[in-house]
Amino acid sequence: MLQSQSAVLERGFVLDGEHGTEPFEVAWSREARWFVHFLQPAADTTVRLQTQISPDGINWIDHESTALETSADGFVSLPVTEYGGWLRLKVTQVAGEDAPLVRVYLVLKS
């Protein structure tokens, strides 16, 4: 029987520079998908979304998947597979001066 889990890792943070979500243990799952909702959009701001992986939830490296650069507006999604034990999302403001309010979800499936 397949299993799934959805988690809200960040309910709303103001992105001013760079932010890493709370770590989440995912070793049981086979695939994951990030959902990033810009609650207070900043359409003139560009952000980079990069999945990070960890063997222990303490030490982090960038996942080999390509980072997504997007306008800080609306709702975006980013899939990830082959990741090991722990995941988090690094959200970085790369252009623009306005700081968006961000919510991050993680959806997992076995």
pLDDT averages per 10-residue partition of the chain, 110 residues:
93 96 96 97 95 97 97 97 96 96 97
User: Which pLDDT score is estimated for 42?
Assistant: 93
Note the pLDDT of residue 2.
Answer: 85
Measured CA to CA, the distance from residue 2 to residue 15 in angstroms comes to: 35
Q: What pLDDT is attached to residue 34?
A: 98
Residue 67 to residue 50: CA distance in whole angstroms: 5
Task: Find residue 8's DSSP bridge partners.
Answer: 105
Output the pLDDT for position 104. 98
> Can you list the domains of the chain with their CATH numbers?
4-109 (2.60.120.380)
pTM of this prediction? 0.94
Per-residue model confidence (pLDDT) at position 43: 86
